[in-house]
């Protein structure tokens, strides 16, 4: 029997992890989990104040302002990161949502979601890859969604952008095999985040309990997922525990895709 503890493969000691959208929700949970696994975490968020606040809560974390939709902002953030060493891990968690069919979705809505969910993921991947490639190592994890592969009602623009995230993940994984850079994505179903709380409070005042029960029932398992469950899967996919995994889309959906 090997003396090595297999759980050691989940450790991220001496690794620099860049996480976008890290000031709240899923991104913050991933940052917390990575820090607990030993990583030096760099929290990127469009809200500089919230990024700094989140960094204060997490050991070995630094908050940086970054608008992922802006080429200039992304370049500046990754230049600051490179000054202390190339990232070993990139997690693209920044994203925005929209409710609407193709008939109720305006061109401005499409442009707004595309700029963050698609352009933002592209810009951050490209910036990270430029720093990872000379070292011939690195891991990229994108946050897609079950909306990328399922026909969800009233989610036209969101589904379109998450489908693009999935396609980019597969393309990058294939193109960077020789550079030893792995790229995967997680496709969550409904996860209980501050966004869900805000959406329910805004659109269903006085009916919050009823709506939360409805949202829970939409997953065959009978509840929404948690941000910590996403973070644990992210830790697996960004650690050596998943060294044989690339070009994969991991559903985290409470049975939504196969058990409806």
Q: Which residues are catalytic?
A: 158
Tracing tokens 């044989």 back to the chain, one arrives at 244
- In 37-181, alpha helices (H): 48-57, 71-82, 107-113, 120-132, 156-175
Instruction: State how far Cα 120 lies from the chain centre.
Output: 11
82: DSSP letter: H
Q: Give the separation between CA 209 and CA 191, rounded to whole angstroms.
A: 16
Which residues, in sequence order, are CB contacts of 86 under 8 Å at separation 6+?
16, 131, 132, 134, 135, 138
Give the whole-angstrom CA distance, residue 210 versus residue 206.
9
């Amino acid at each position: 029997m090997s003396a090595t503890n297999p759980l050691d493969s989940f450790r991220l000691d001496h690794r620099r992890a860049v996480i976008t959208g890290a000031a709240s929700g899923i991104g913050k949970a991933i940052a917390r989990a990575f820090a607990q696994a030993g990583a030096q975490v760099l929290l990127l968020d469009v809200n500089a104040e919230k990024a700094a606040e989140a960094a204060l809560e997490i050991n070995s974390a630094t908050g940086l302002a970054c608008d992922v939709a802006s080429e200039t902002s992304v370049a500046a953030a990754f230049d600051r990161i490179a000054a202390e060493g190339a990232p070993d891990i990139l997690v693209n968690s920044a994203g925005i949502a929209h409710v609407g069919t193709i008939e109720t979705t305006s061109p401005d809505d499409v442009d707004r979601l595309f700029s963050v969910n698609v352009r933002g993921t592209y810009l951050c991947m490209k910036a990270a890859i430029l720093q990872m490639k000379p070292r011939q190592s690195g891991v990229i994890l994108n946050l897609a969604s079950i909306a990328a592969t399922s026909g969800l009602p009233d989610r036209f623009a969101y589904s379109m952008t998450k489908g693009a995230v999935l396609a980019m993940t597969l393309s990058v994984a294939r193109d960077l095999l020789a550079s030893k850079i792995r790229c995967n994505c997680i496709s969550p179903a409904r996860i209980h985040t501050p966004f869900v709380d805000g959406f329910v409070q805004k659109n269903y005042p006085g009916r919050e309990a009823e709506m939360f029960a409805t949202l829970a029932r939409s997953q065959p398992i009978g509840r929404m997922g948690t941000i910590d469950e996403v973070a644990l899967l992210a830790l697996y996919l960004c650690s050596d525990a998943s060294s044989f995994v690339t070009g994969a889309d991991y559903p985290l959906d409470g049975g939504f895709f196969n058990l409806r």
